[in-house]
Amino acid sequence: MSAFNKLAGSTPTPPGLERLVLRRLPGVLLLGTLLIGLPALLARLFPWTGSEADVAVRIMTIDFYAIAVVVLHWTIVFTIAIAAFIVMVMKGPAYVADAYPLDDAEEPDGAGRWRRS
């Protein structure tokens, strides 16, 4: 007996937008990360005026914002990937779970078990 038993008569739904989304997500992740990291790189090339401590604080602030937005971007992309994967799995064939006996009772007896009416 196999671990997965397909439900007789179930037909998989053709792939839709979720496949396109899953194919584009690696590029979106990479391109988005590079674009978000670009201000941190440009901040180091920009000729700042002021004391060395002020310049370091400004650059560090830009770095912190860039890191925060990169983490947010990764989280959004990961969430979209999970959603697209769930849609892809749900469009596949239906499977049947193993049968198990069900104790059908209306109310519990004194020992914590359910009593039949």
pLDDT of residue 116: 55
- Sketch the domain layout of the chain as residue ranges: 11-115
Q: Is the pTM of this model over 0.95?
A: no
Chain-wide mean pLDDT for the chain? 87
B/e letters for 43-76, b = 16+ CB within 10 Å, e = fewer, are beeeeeeeeeeebeeeeeebeeebeebbeebeee
Confidence of residue 41 (pLDDT cuts 50, 70, 90): very high
**88 pLDDT higher than 70:** yes
